[in-house]
Every structure is written in structure tokens, then in C-alpha cells.
Amino acid sequence: MNRRILLAALAAAAAAIAIPAAAQQPKLKVGFMLPYSGTYAALGDAIEKGFRLYLTEQGGRIGGREVEFFKVDDESDPAKATDNVNKLIKRDNVDVIVGTAHSGVAMAMAKAAKDNGTLLIIPNAGAVAVTGPMCAQNIFRSSFSNWQPGYAMGEVAAKRGAKKVVTITWKYAAGDESVGGFKEAFEKSGGQVVKELSLPFPNVEFQPLLTEIAAIKPDAVYTFFAGGGAVKFVKDYAAAGLKKTIPLYGAGFLTDGTLDAQGADADGLLTTLHYGDGLDNPKDRSFRAAYSKAYNAVPDVYAVQGYDAAQMLGIGLAAVKGDVANKPGIASAIVAAKIDSPRGPFTIGASHNPVQDMYLRQVVGKDNKVIGVATKALADPGRGCKM
């Protein structure tokens, strides 16, 4: 071999060695397990859009690895959840699962993720158990615990002078825990929850319960509903004539992503949530501009949570150079990070749930206008979590 050919061969070998390890890794397999049908279908759509937006901003790579997607529609059906999550874990052999919206489904996913050691990032479902007794090194939430917005609204309702409140929600973990958070803060401040009304998920036959509220005449009503059910509840509450006489307070899902369909019936409603319209921070401005350019739509809280799930994955995988097997490395990077979210910067607490401001919002036209911070840097208590 002459000298020139030898040098060229050496240069090529050196270039191959210089390629970062991550670039040689296989594609990162990301499994979306989300509701693409049913009352939470819009939530799944927004979560996926938010996640993909972050990926596009990163040139299609997370932790240096290209991404391949696998998708399962969980239908917000807990009875199908174990089979559905096993399609991603056992059939598709995914590296990470991103899902879901419904707390009952999320609990089955968390069990499977814990048993199999699969990385799980929950971009909505607030089931308290997942970052409580079921907490694990490989399980994270980019959203909230059901307790958080409820607790913040309990403080707000008491400050606004309510003494006797009726609660109304779907009878499953999200509704029960949202009401639990509300009740904890409200009763600590001297208020009383005089009646807890509920109906099965995703039932929307609200009329008999609204008649009961009218008869009780409480100072206010606190509610958790989301998606299609929230649209119908707000319209039915107004149609029953209650909006004029009994203030309706809610966890922010009541009016997030729903205002086009609720129209004037939502006007003026007060809710608490970790996102809202009119947050004047640079990250939110750039996120909203990019989201509406990409999808011709205004982002809601679910889009933010999907975006932040991708950011958290990016932070974790960057720290371990794309080595998804290194769960301790991923966990310590995510817990150490200050996440630059459109909601404002937040951190992930020891039980892997966001520690974040809860905003007080009021519906003005098509906006959930932020009118203040209800509770600053609120952390879920993480009761029962032993990491």
C-alpha cells in the first residue's frame, strides 16, 4: 500500500472512531399508549403533537438517537390496559413508553413498567399511587398529581369565602383524588364539603345530580371533569340555571382544550392548573408560536405535558449518552434538572412528580386567562413512596 492510500485508510478509520457512540446506536423505540378514541381522544392527540414538536426541534433525535414510534389506542379503558401495555413491552420491545391520560389505565401501565423495568413517562394521568406507593426509579410524570390542582382550588375557595361546598365528579381515581385534594385544603381552612356526588366514568347523565345541587344550595360547587365530559358538564350546569346562582370551581381540565365547544357557558369560570393563557415567559411564547405553525392550533395543557415528557426523556438520555438501560443515570439527571417548560420552569420531586406553580385562571372568551398564582411550587406529598 503506498503512503497516500495508507493515510487515507487511517483517516477513514479515525473518522469512524470519532463518530459519537450514540449515532451508532439503533433507533430509540418510543411507544405511545394514549387515548385516540372516546371522551379523552383530544387529550391523546395533543400529547402526541407536543411530544413530536420537541423531537422536531431536536432534529429528530433524543439522546443522540433517532426515534421510531409504536402506537396503541388505550381507549381510556382500564380493563384493556394490561393487554395494551404488553403489546408495547413484549411485542414491540419498546425502550420507553409515553402514556397515558386516564388514571386507571396508568396504574396498570405503572405495574407493568415496574415489573419489566421499562422506562415510563406519564404525560397526563394524575393517579396519586403512581408517584406514591407504586413509585419507581423508571417511572416519571411530566404532568401533575390529581391532588395538586384540587388542593390549590381548596385554598382559593376558602379565601373567596365559601363555607359549604358540594363536589361532583366521575367515580374513579382522578375524580376521587381531585376531590380529596380540594377537601384537604378547604377543610383545613375551615370550610366543609357537605356532599360528594359522583357518577361512573365516562357517563354524562348529569341532570339528576344537578337537581340535587339545586336543592342543597351550597355556597359553591367543586368539580373534576375533562375532555368531552367537561364540555357537556359546563353546558348542562349553565342550562340548569346554576351558573347564575352557585359559583362553579374546577380543576383546570374543566375548561382546558374545551372552550371552543363550551362557548359562553364557560365564561367567567375559575379553575386551578399548572398552565394557562397569557403566561408571559419566553419559553411559552416560542412554544405557542411553533405549535400553531406546526398544527394550526392553539396548544393546551395536554400539549405542554407531551412536550415536557419529550424534554424529560431528552434530559435523561443525554446524560447517559442514549443508553436507555442506565436507569439510575437517567433518574438522577431528570431529578437534578430544572425543566424549561412553557408552564414556567419546574423540577421533578423525589417521587418523580412535578413540583410546580398552580395558577388561578378565569375563562375570558377563548382563553383560560392566568389571573394569579394560587399555590407556589406545590409538591405532591408523595405519600407511601419508597424509592
Give the Cα separation of 233 and 253 in Å (integer): 12
> Looking up cell 379503558, which residue turns up?
77
Give the Cα separation of 119 and 222 in Å (integer): 35
Cβ-based nearer residue to ligand BEZ, 40 or 151:
40
- Least distance (Å) between residue 109 CB and ligand BEZ: 12
- Least distance (Å) between residue 42 CB and ligand BEZ: 10
Cβ-based nearer residue to ligand BEZ, 78 or 314:
78
- Least distance (Å) between residue 300 CB and ligand BEZ: 11
Q: How many CB atoms lie within 10 A of CB 281?
A: 14
- Least distance (Å) between residue 385 CB and ligand BEZ: 17
210 Cβ neighbours under 8 A, 6+ residues apart? 236, 237, 240, 242
Cβ-based nearer residue to ligand BEZ, 150 or 314:
150
CA distances from 20 to 56, 200, 313, 321 (A): 21, 52, 19, 9
- Least distance (Å) between residue 129 CB and ligand BEZ: 11
- Least distance (Å) between residue 313 CB and ligand BEZ: 20
- Least distance (Å) between residue 106 CB and ligand BEZ: 7
Please give the single-letter amino acid code of residue 211: T
Give the Cα separation of 312 and 309 in Å (integer): 5
Residues that bind ligand BEZ (CB under 6 A): 40, 101-103, 124-127, 146, 174, 226, 253
Cβ-based nearer residue to ligand BEZ, 173 or 319:
173
> Looking up cell 433518574, which residue turns up?
331
Is the distance from CB of 348 to CB of 312 less than 8 angstroms? yes
Burial 299-322 (b: 16+ CB within 10 A, else e): bbbbbbbbbbbbbbbbbbbbbbeb
Cβ-based nearer residue to ligand BEZ, 28 or 226:
226
Cβ-based nearer residue to ligand BEZ, 102 or 361:
102
Give the Cα separation of 249 and 293 in Å (integer): 33
Cell of 66: 433517532
Cβ-based nearer residue to ligand BEZ, 252 or 322:
252
Cβ-based nearer residue to ligand BEZ, 201 or 237:
201
Cβ-based nearer residue to ligand BEZ, 74 or 265:
74
Give the Cα separation of 177 and 278 in Å (integer): 28
Please give the single-letter amino acid code of residue 239: A
- Least distance (Å) between residue 153 CB and ligand BEZ: 14
Apex 330 CA angle, 386 and 319, nearest 5: 150
Cell of 35: 387515548
- Least distance (Å) between residue 322 CB and ligand BEZ: 31
57 Cβ neighbours under 8 A, 6+ residues apart? 290
